[in-house]
Structure 1
Amino acid sequence: MFSDDDAAALYDVLRRARRRADVEWVEGTAATAQWNAEFDVATMTSHAFQCLVTDAELRASLRAIRAALRPGGRFAFETRHPQARAWEDWNPSNVTEVTDAGGRPLHVWHEISGVDGEVVTFHGTTADPDGTPLRVDRTSLRFLDEATLDGFLTEADFEVEARYGDWARGPVTGRSREIITIAGRR
């Protein structure tokens, strides 16, 4: 479930994206989509799959994605590999310097507020270079291992066609930071 801050950020992204007239933008979640066998491919990028935190959210989204795909269609997505424990590097000492659309320099950092099984909750802070916070967002992400992920995919009637541990199409290993999956609709 999205927090109020997550929803506000999403609406801001959609507002900016809608400036493109050559794309049809549909506001909603995968779980609420009403498409029926209309697409050959569905994708989730930027680790969005990890925002499906509860079993119910995950199941509803996978059902809707499957329904949106034509027979033989594919669902491609990536998620962070839990064995890499990426969240351990999400701390205020790892500040990233970015520049916003207006050319203003900003600092961004993350701070873990809790780990509960597969779910990691953290705060993301965007600040002026002097450290004055401009925005603080609270987010939870779910880190699924391959076996659990495959269980959800099988239950939703998907079959894993390809799986990679990095963007060079290397195998998933204990050292992989990613689990990149291409699943076919059965």
Structure 2
Amino acid sequence: MTGHAFQVLLDENAILATLAVMREHLAAGGRIVFESRNPAIDWKARWDGGVFEVIHDGLVVRKTRDVVSYDEGRAHFETRYHFPEETLVSESELLFLSRNDIERHLEASGLRADAVYGDWDRQPFDERNAEEMIFVVRRAS
């Protein structure tokens, strides 16, 4: 589960239901791997007002991101894609859980983290600096 998909699970019921299905379909000896952004990082400051441009075949597409709200572990933001003839808007909401909260949900689902890395290169997770938490998970028993 990549692309920070875990963060679109916005409440405990959705998280536990997803983890239960993952556990049910996990092959013997298999692993689940997913990432979530580290909530200790100031994502609002990093994302709010962000502007990126992509040029393809001479067409310039500008992407902007504005944080609408950011509190209690939830970020609601709007991403706009500015084309020459129109602007498309995508609204998103993400949940930022701590490592401890995610591990608590794993345990409640009969799963456990074998490892938690700070990036996909398997660097150690440093809560103060790592942008990501990469969970390598298996059945608890």
Q: TM-score, normalised by structure 2?
A: 0.90
| Alignment correspondent of 2:136 | 182
C-alpha displacement at 1:133, in angstroms? 5.2
Aligned counterpart in structure 2 of residue 122 of structure 1, from 77, 80, 84: 77
Q: State the 4+ residue runs in structure 1 displaced beyond 2 angstroms.
A: 102-105
Cα deviations across residues 34-56 of structure 1 (Å, max 9, x unaligned)? xxxxxxxxxx1111111111111
Between 1 and 2, higher relative CO (CA 8 Å, sep ≥ 6) is seen in 2
Please list every run of 5 or more consecutive structure 1 residues that lacks an aligned counterpart in the other structure.
1-43
User: Aligned to 2:120, what secondary structure does the other structure show?
Assistant: coil
| Alignment correspondent of 1:98 | 54
User: Aligned to 1:61, what secondary structure does the other structure show?
Assistant: helix
Cα deviations across residues 15-47 of structure 1 (Å, max 9, x unaligned)? xxxxxxxxxxxxxxxxxxxxxxxxxxxxx1111
- Kindly, what percent of the aligned residue pairs are identical? 29
> CA RMSD of the aligned region, Å?
1.8
Asked if structure 1 preserves the Cα contact closer than 8 Å seen for 2:116 and 2:134, the reply is yes
| Alignment correspondent of 1:79 | 36
Cα deviations across residues 121-163 of structure 1 (Å, max 9, x unaligned)? 111111126xx75211111001111100100011111111111
Q: TM-score, normalised by structure 1?
A: 0.69
C-alpha displacement at 1:86, in angstroms? 2.1
Higher strand share: 2
Please list every run of 5 or more consecutive structure 2 residues that lacks an aligned counterpart in the other structure.
none
Aligned counterpart in structure 1 of residue 18 of structure 2, from 36, 57, 61: 61
Asked if structure 1 preserves the Cα contact closer than 8 Å seen for 2:48 and 2:66, the reply is yes
Q: Quick one: distance in 1 between partners of 2:55 and 2:18?
A: 34
Which amino acid is 2:122 matched to? Answer: R
User: Aligned to 1:135, what secondary structure does the other structure show?
Assistant: strand
Q: Quick one: distance in 1 between partners of 2:40 and 2:86?
A: 32
